[in-house]
Structures are given as C-alpha cells and as structure tokens.
Amino acid sequence: MRLFGLVNPKQRLSPYEIGVVSFAFLLAATLFYLDTFTDIQSALATLYVITLLLSAETLTERGTLLLAGVCISLSALSYVAGHGLQGDLAAALRLTVAIAAMVITCLLIIRNQRARLALIKFNTDLQSSEERYRTIFEQSRVALWERDYSQVRALLVKLRENGVSDLQAYARNNPDFIADCIACIPTVAANAAALELLGHVDARNVSSMRRYIAQDDATFLELMVAIFNRESSFEGKGSIITSDGTTRLVLLTVGFPEDVANFDRVIVGMFDITEREMAQKALFEAQAELALASRAATVGALSASLAHELNQPLGALVVNAQTLQRWLDRDPPDLAAVSRSAERIVRDSQRASDIIQSTRSMLSERTPVLESVSLADLVSETQMLMESELAKNRIAFDTSETPGITAVSAVRIELQQVMINLFTNAVQAMAATPEQHRRISVTIELAECQSVSIKVHDSGPGLSPEVLKNLFKPFCTTKATGLGMGLAICRSMLEARGGTLTADNHAEGGALFQMTVPIEAVHE
Ligand code: ADP
C-alpha cells in the first residue's frame, strides 16, 4: 500500500506502525484542540514535533513534508482563532518558535530518512553482490575453495621475524613444517566442482586438506614461499590425491588479498589438467618416436640415394677395369689403350667420390661450392661419360644451344647427376624402341626468370598418365630393379638451388623432361 507515495513502500503497515501513526494524528488533533480552545499560555504548538517524530519512520519524504505542512497550518489556524489577525507579540513569538521547531524537525527527519534509504540500498546491493558471488562460486565448473590463511600467514610472519630468510631451507631442516602449515589452513567453503575433483567427497570431509595434498608435492611449499615473500598471487602445477587414492594433476591459482585482515577468506582455484598433461606427454613421446623414425627414414633415403647415384660410376668402373684387363691380356699388351682405360677408371672413381661428397654436404648443410658452369660443356662431358652406354644401346645423341647463353653459377656435380639420371632413364625407356629410331635430343635455351632451360627429349614410349602423376614421388618406379628415387632426388636438388624439373609427353612422341637452372644460384 503506497497511499499516494506518502507511506514507506512496503507490503503492508504493521499493527504497531498503524498504532503509532494513529497516536500521532490523535496527538495532533488534541494539540490543535488545546491550542485553539484553551487559554494555555505556552508554545503548545511546539509539541507538533512529536507528531512528526512519531510518523517519521512510517512516512516517506513527501508524507513527512505534507504532515509538517498540516501541523504548521494547524498551529497558524489556532493562532488566528485565539488571537485574531492582530494577535499579540508573545503569542506570535510562540508561534514562530513552534514553526521553526517543526521546520527543523522536518528537515532532520528528511535527512535521516535519506541516510536510512541510502543505507538500505547499500545493504541490498551488498546482499545481491554476495548472492551473485555465491552463485558464481557454487556453480563455477572450476574447483574453488575459500580457505582461511590467516593462521598460516601469522606463522610465516613469525618465522620471518625470528630471522628465517630461506623458507625452502627451513622446510628441509624441519620435516614437520609442511604438515604444520597444512594443519592450520582450514577450509571455509568448497564448491561442487571442488568436491567432485577430490572424488565426490562430502563437504564435511574437506575442512582440512591434509589427506588430499601429496606428501612430496613441492607446490604447497612454493605457495608458502609466495605468502612468506608477500607476493600478490600464486600460480603453480601440483598434484592432489583424491578420495579413491588416484593422483590428479592440477593448476593451482591463489590471489592473496591486499588487506591482511582478509586472509581469513582467500579464494583458491584448481583446474584439473591431468588429461591435458597426459596428452602432452603422449605428444612428446610420439614426437620423439617420429624424430627417430624420420632419422631412420633419412638414413634409408640417403642409402637409397647413394646406391642409386653410385650405381652408374661403379658400373662404369667395372666396365673400364674389364676393358683394361682385356688390353693387358693382349700379346703384346696395348699400353696406350690400357692408359686410356686407367684414366677412365680414375675419372669414374673421382665421380663416385664427388657424389658421396655432395650427398654428405647436403646432409651436413655445409655451404656447397658454386662454380661457373657452361651447360653445353656439361652436356657434352656427360655424354662422354656415358658414351659406352649410348653406343652399346645404339642411341643417337644431339645437342642444340641457342647462341649467347651465359654460364650459370651452380654446383657442377649436382647438375651432372641430374643429367646422368635423365639420360639413363631415356636410354632405359628406349629399350623396346627400334634401334634406328633411338634418339636423345638436348636443347639448351634461355628461359624466363633469369634462368636457362635444358630439355631432354627421347624417342621412347613416353610417360603413362599413372606414372606422370607420381613421377617425382619417391619410390615411383616401373622398373623391375628400379628404386624410383632418381627423379625425386633430381627435383629436390634443383629446387634447392632455385631451379625446377618438370616432365611431359612430347607432341611428336617420347618423354620430354625440362630442367631450369637459375643463372645465379639461390643459397638456401
Ligand atoms: P627409377 O629409374 O629407379 O625407376 P626414377 O625416379 O628415375 O626411378 O624414374 C621413375 C619412373 O619414371 C621410372 O621407373 C619410369 O617408369 C619413369 N620414367 C622416367 N624417365 C622416363 C622416360 N624418359 N620415359 C619413360 N618413362 C620414364
């Protein structure tokens, strides 16, 4: 009942309040009667303040103002009724005193009412804030504790005052220290998530954390050190033992209050990170295994690469050694031919050694030696290296170069390896091609982006769509004894220096491989 905003807003007035207000109005009426119809020569009207005071708690500010107005009007009315408009000085003074008393009382009541309302509002806000905090505390999925750290803080302060400066050392020398500290940290409250974390325990069983903190848990001591060092917060990873004896890894966060008096209600948060830590551990293990596997794969790839690349010079060595033997076996021995074969043996041995060297430098990431290489010279040198192979298979070999091509800066042995691979593949691909049609054509021309292109076209069967798709992937081979590493190695070798290697079928038949070599090599 609001009564036009005159009465305090609450559900209903209590009988006591109704009695008090009724009495106040009765008093006002009695005063009015006495003041108007009797001859009492005193400032009776002053007593209207009692009416105001009695109604103060029940009426609103507006109600109080109205009542004060009514009381002042009644006093004025009594004055006019008793003394007429002329009046006498004494009566007028009494009226003035009474009105002043009523005005002052009214102002004091209003001030009081405002202070009271402010206090009520403050209390209501405080209460709803507390309720909000409680709701968050209770419903949070993070395990939260309210712990009383005041005793343990006092203990630590005392130790400091007694000259302890290194708490870790003190704890080592006093084996009971940790247990003593735990014992003087009672739990004030714990939320549902906290009870769940400890293994769905009852709230009554967590008044002390003694049985839940692992004996060897260094984090608790670190927490004590943080309080000892007057830090403002603490964060650390620890382990707790749940009611069924399992160990859970937790991330612990504690914010210490600025006001020492509030150490009796410190909020402690715990996040269960057991699964995360396990996953991380598994990840580290998997990574270690992967590193091992990839080392094994590197060794495997290296051996495959070496086996592949050394095959050619070693094969040539054997052929040349056999040839040398034959020249020696002649009667008389052809020493000039022997010397030529010996030179070839030296050359092939040197190449084998260079291949090993270059593979090692690739692995050890040593800066390779760049030289100025004329690609036309390199093609003819490679053709000479393979001359017995080409002749044996009756393969015609031609090279054309657009004039004005400058030398490139490259690692010579790498480019030669690529060429040997491309030529050997071409030779092998033409095994079924009629002898008179076997041909390898090499074209050297300027390409885009400051590079030179070397195209190798053969007259073999070309590349099937399936092979074309996987050509540069390791272990892609159609040969019974092939490794399928050659083209993969060639491409990565060229790309490492800023070049490219692509393959397609030529419009006139046969496979067409194109390598590009930048004029200025790129350093990795
Ligand atoms: P490998 O020679 O050990 O098989 P490569 O990586 O050098 O490994 O070649 C992969 C495959 O590409 C070969 O097995 C072959 O099927 C195909 N290939 C390569 N060059 C040619 C070519 N000039 N003509 C047809 N097929 C080719």
**What pLDDT, on the 0 to 100 scale, is given for residue 393?**
92
**What pLDDT, on the 0 to 100 scale, is given for residue 522?**
64
**What pLDDT, on the 0 to 100 scale, is given for residue 364?**
59
Mean pLDDT over all residues of the chain? 86
Please say if the pLDDT value at position 42 is more than 80.
Answer: no
**What pLDDT, on the 0 to 100 scale, is given for residue 141?**
84
**What pLDDT, on the 0 to 100 scale, is given for residue 304?**
66
Question: Which of these ranges, 62-71, 151-160, 221-230, 281-290, has the smallest mean pLDDT?
Answer: 281-290
**What pLDDT, on the 0 to 100 scale, is given for residue 282?**
82
**What pLDDT, on the 0 to 100 scale, is given for residue 164?**
92
Closest atom of ligand 1 to 510 CA is 24
Strands 439-447 and 396-401: parallel
Could you report the per-residue pLDDT of 177-203, keeping only the tens digit for each? 988 898 889 999 999 999 998 888 887
AA identity, residue 73: S
**What pLDDT, on the 0 to 100 scale, is given for residue 523?**
54
CATH number of the domain located at residue range(s) 370-518 in this protein: 3.30.565.10
What span, in angstroms and rounded, lies between the C-alpha atoms of 337 and 348? 17
Residue 477 alpha carbon to ligand 1 centre in Å: 6
Q: Which helix or strand (DSSP H or E) is residue 518 part of?
A: strand 511-518
What span, in angstroms and rounded, lies between the C-alpha atoms of 521 and 409? 6
pTM score of the predicted model: 0.44
The residue that leads in pLDDT, 235 or 31, is 235
Residue 215 alpha carbon to ligand 1 centre in Å: 66
**What pLDDT, on the 0 to 100 scale, is given for residue 361?**
66
- Determine the average pLDDT of the residues in 463-481: 89
Question: Atom 9 in ligand 1: which residue has the minimum CA distance?
Answer: 484
CB neighbour list of residue 405: distance below 8 Å, 6 or more residues apart: 375, 376, 444, 445, 446, 452
Classify residue 301 as exposed, middle or buried by CB count within 10 Å of its CB (0-12, 13-18, 19+). middle
Could you report the per-residue pLDDT of 360-374, keeping only the tens digit for each? 765 555 567 789 999
- Tokens for 282? 């598994």
Instruction: Give the model's confidence band at 83: pLDDT under 50 very low, under 70 low, under 90 confident, else very high.
Output: confident
Closest atom of ligand 1 to 485 CA is 6
Question: Atom 11 in ligand 1: which residue has the minimum CA distance?
Answer: 477
Closest atom of ligand 1 to 456 CA is 23
Identify the CA nearest to 488 among candidates 474, 502, 498, 504. 474
Could you report the per-residue pLDDT of 118-165, keeping only the tens digit for each? 998 999 999 988 888 888 888 888 899 899 999 999 999 999 999 999
Ligand 1 site residues, Cβ closer than 6 angstroms: 421, 425-426, 429, 458, 460, 463, 467, 471, 476-479, 482-488, 511
Please say if the pLDDT value at position 297 is more than 60.
Answer: no
Question: Which of these ranges, 203-217, 293-307, 398-412, 509-523, has the smallest mean pLDDT?
Answer: 293-307
- Tokens for 444? 């050297």
What span, in angstroms and rounded, lies between the C-alpha atoms of 280 and 284? 6
Highest mean pLDDT among 70-79, 222-231, 411-420: 222-231
Residue 320 alpha carbon to ligand 1 centre in Å: 26
> Which of the listed CATH numbers 3.30.950.10, 3.40.50.12280, 3.30.450.20, 3.40.50.150 matches domain 140-272?
3.30.450.20
Residue 487 alpha carbon to ligand 1 centre in Å: 7
Reduced 3-state DSSP string for 193-213: HHHHHCCCCCHHHHCCCCCCE
**What pLDDT, on the 0 to 100 scale, is given for residue 311?**
82
Residue from 430, 464, 487, 502 whose mutation best tests the ligand 1 pocket (most atoms within 8 A of CB): 487
Residue 414 alpha carbon to ligand 1 centre in Å: 19
**What pLDDT, on the 0 to 100 scale, is given for residue 404?**
86
Residue spans per domain, the chain: 2-135, 140-272, 291-366, 370-518
Please say if the pLDDT value at position 33 is more than 90.
Answer: no
Instruction: Give the model's confidence band at 375: pLDDT under 50 very low, under 70 low, under 90 confident, else very high.
Output: very high
Instruction: Give the CA count within 13 Å in the CB-facing half-sphere of 406.
Output: 11
The residue that leads in pLDDT, 108 or 85, is 108
- Determine the average pLDDT of the residues in 451-459: 96
User: What is the DSSP code string of 272-327?
Assistant: E-HHHHHHHHHHHHHHHHHHHHHHHHHHHHHHHHHHHHHHHHHHHHHHHHHHHHHH
**What pLDDT, on the 0 to 100 scale, is given for residue 228?**
94
- Tokens for 381? 């040198």
**What pLDDT, on the 0 to 100 scale, is given for residue 490?**
87
Phi-psi region of 366 (alpha: psi -120 to 50; beta: other; left: phi over 0): beta
The residue that leads in pLDDT, 205 or 70, is 70
Residue from 425, 478, 515 whose mutation best tests the ligand 1 pocket (most atoms within 8 A of CB): 425
| Percent of the chain's residues with pLDDT above 70 | 91
Residue 352 alpha carbon to ligand 1 centre in Å: 22
- Determine the average pLDDT of the residues in 491-498: 88
